[in-house]
Structure 1
Amino acid sequence: MKHQKKLILIVLFMLIQTAGLFAKDYKASFFHIKHDGNTLNTRSIQFAIDYIHKNGGGRLVFHVGRYLTGSIHLKSNVTLQLEEGAVLLGSTNPFDYDRIGQTALIHARDIENVGITGKGMIDGQGRALANNSIAYANDGLIEDILKYDRTRESIRPMIIYFFNVNNVTIKDLILQNSACWLQTYERCKNMVIDNITVNNVAFWNSDGIDVVDCQNVTITNNNIDAADDGICLKSHTEGFFCNNILIENNIVRTSANGIKLGTAGKGGFRNIKAINNTVYNTYRSAIALQSVDGGFLEDILIDGLKSINTGNVIYLRLGERVVGKKSTMDRISIKNVVADVPFEKADAGYDYEGPIEDMPRNISPIVIAGLPGQYINDVTFTNFKISYPGRGSKFVAYVPLDKLDSIPEQPAQYPEFSQFKELPAWGIYVRHAKNINFSNLHLTAEKKDYRLPIIMDDVHGALLKKVTFEQIDQKKLLYTQKSTDIKVQ
Structure 2
Amino acid sequence: MSKIKLKLFFIALLINLFLIGYECAAQKTTQSHKEFLITEYGSKGDGRTLNTTTIQKAIDAAFKNKGGCVVFPKGRFLSGSIVLKSNVTLYFEEESVLLGSTNPKDYFNMDFEGRPVSPKNDDNSQMALILAHKANNITLKGKGTIDGQGLKLALNIDSLHHAGIAIDPKYSLRRNRPNETMRPKLFRFSQCDNVLIEGLKAGEASCWGLSFELCSKLTLDSLTIVNRSYWNNDGIDITDCKDVRVTNCNINAADDGICLKSYYPGCYNDSIYIANCTIRSSASAIKFGTASVGGFKNVTIRDIKVYDTFRSAIAIESVDGGIIENIEVSNIQAVNTGNAIFIRIGQRSGEKPGSIKNVHLKNIKVKVPFGRPDSNYDLRGPEVDFFHNPFPSSIVGLEGYAIENVTLENIEINYPGRATKGMAYIPLNRLNQVPEAIKDYPEFSMFGELPAYGLYVRHANGISMKNIKLTLDDSDFRPAFVFDDVQNLKMEAIDLPNEKQKQVIFKNVISSNIEKQLVEKIMEIQQ
Q: TM-score surpassing 0.5?
A: yes
Q: Partners of 2:84 and 2:187 in 1: how far apart?
A: 11
Secondary structure class of the residue paired with 1:132? helix
Other-structure match for 1:33: 43
Secondary structure class of the residue paired with 1:87? strand
Q: Is 2:157 the counterpart of 1:137?
A: no
Q: Partners of 2:241 and 2:265 in 1: how far apart?
A: 13
Other-structure match for 1:45: 55
| 1:215-257 residue CA offsets vs partner (Å, 9 max, x unmatched) | 0000000000000000000000111100000010100000000
Q: Is 2:458 the counterpart of 1:431?
A: yes
8 A contact 1:358–1:421 mirrored in 2? no
Out of 198, 205, 208, the residue aligned to residue 235 of structure 2 is 208
Q: Partners of 1:361 and 1:323 in 2: how far apart?
A: 30
Give, in angstroms, the shift of residue 441 of structure 1: 0.7
Q: Alpha carbons of 1:46 and 1:168: their partners in 2 closer, same or farther (altered >3 Å)?
A: same
Other-structure match for 2:108: 98
Q: Partners of 1:219 and 1:235 in 2: how far apart?
A: 18
Other-structure match for 1:112: 136
Other-structure match for 2:151: 127
8 A contact 2:37–2:58 mirrored in 1? no
8 A contact 2:256–2:282 mirrored in 1? yes
Q: Partners of 1:54 and 1:356 in 2: how far apart?
A: 52
Out of 346, 359, 362, the residue aligned to residue 386 of structure 2 is 359
Q: How does 1:194-233 map to 2 (within 5 A)?
A: 194-233=221-260
8 A contact 2:403–2:460 mirrored in 1? yes
Give, in angstroms, the shift of residue 77 of structure 1: 0.5
Q: Which has the higher strand share?
A: 1
Give, in angstroms, the shift of residue 475 of structure 1: 2.8
Greater Rg over alpha carbons, structure: 2
8 A contact 1:363–1:392 mirrored in 2? yes
Other-structure match for 1:484: 510
Counterpart residue type for residue 171 of structure 2: L
Other-structure match for 2:519: none
Give, in angstroms, the shift of residue 184 of structure 1: 0.7
Q: Is 2:410 the counterpart of 1:383?
A: yes
Q: Partners of 1:33 and 1:150 in 2: how far apart?
A: 33
Q: Partners of 1:313 and 1:365 in 2: how far apart?
A: 8
Give, in angstroms, the shift of residue 151 of structure 1: 1.6
Q: Partners of 1:359 and 1:281 in 2: how far apart?
A: 22
Q: Alpha carbons of 1:24 and 1:293: their partners in 2 closer, same or farther (altered >3 Å)?
A: same
8 A contact 2:292–2:319 mirrored in 1? yes
8 A contact 1:441–1:466 mirrored in 2? yes
RMSD: 1.6
Other-structure match for 1:4: none
Other-structure match for 2:70: 60
Other-structure match for 2:314: 287
Other-structure match for 2:442: 415
Other-structure match for 1:5: none
Give, in angstroms, the shift of residue 394 of structure 1: 0.7
Other-structure match for 1:237: 264
Q: Partners of 1:115 and 1:154 in 2: how far apart?
A: 27
8 A contact 2:453–2:479 mirrored in 1? yes
Give, in angstroms, the shift of residue 392 of structure 1: 1.3
Q: Partners of 2:214 and 2:493 in 1: how far apart?
A: 43
| 1:358-415 residue CA offsets vs partner (Å, 9 max, x unmatched) | 4201111110000111100000000011110111111110111110011100111000
5+ long unaligned stretches in structure 2: 1-17, 111-124, 516-527
Q: Partners of 2:30 and 2:90 in 1: how far apart?
A: 13
Q: Partners of 1:392 and 1:217 in 2: how far apart?
A: 42
Q: Partners of 2:433 and 2:157 in 1: how far apart?
A: 44
| 1:415-469 residue CA offsets vs partner (Å, 9 max, x unmatched) | 0000111101101110000000000111111211100011100001100000111
Secondary structure class of the residue paired with 1:175? strand
Q: Is 2:80 the counterpart of 1:70?
A: yes
Secondary structure class of the residue paired with 1:297? strand
Q: Partners of 1:42 and 1:349 in 2: how far apart?
A: 36
Secondary structure class of the residue paired with 1:89? strand
8 A contact 1:99–1:155 mirrored in 2? no
Counterpart residue type for residue 76 of structure 1: S
Q: Is 2:171 the counterpart of 1:146?
A: yes
Q: Partners of 1:457 and 1:252 in 2: how far apart?
A: 33
Give, in angstroms, the shift of residue 21 of structure 1: 11
Q: Is 2:219 the counterpart of 1:192?
A: yes
| 1:128-181 residue CA offsets vs partner (Å, 9 max, x unmatched) | 000000111111221213112222212201110000000101111001210000
Q: Partners of 1:172 and 1:364 in 2: how far apart?
A: 37
Out of 293, 297, 300, the residue aligned to residue 266 of structure 1 is 293
TM-score (norm 2): 0.88
Counterpart residue type for residue 313 of structure 1: A
Secondary structure class of the residue paired with 1:434? strand
8 A contact 1:399–1:422 mirrored in 2? yes
Other-structure match for 1:3: none
Identity of aligned residues (%): 42
Other-structure match for 1:446: 473
Q: How does 1:466-481 map to 2 (within 5 A)?
A: 466-471=493-498, 473-481=499-507
Q: Partners of 1:91 and 1:27 in 2: how far apart?
A: 21
Q: How does 1:288-327 map to 2 (within 5 A)?
A: 288-327=315-354
Q: Partners of 2:417 and 2:30 in 1: how far apart?
A: 56
Give, in angstroms, the shift of residue 115 of structure 1: 1.4
Secondary structure class of the residue paired with 1:44? helix
8 A contact 2:222–2:247 mirrored in 1? yes
Give, in angstroms, the shift of residue 22 of structure 1: 6.4
Counterpart residue type for residue 428 of structure 2: L
Counterpart residue type for residue 375 of structure 1: A
Counterpart residue type for residue 222 of structure 1: C
5+ long unaligned stretches in structure 1: 1-7
Counterpart residue type for residue 62 of structure 1: F
Q: Partners of 1:94 and 1:163 in 2: how far apart?
A: 21
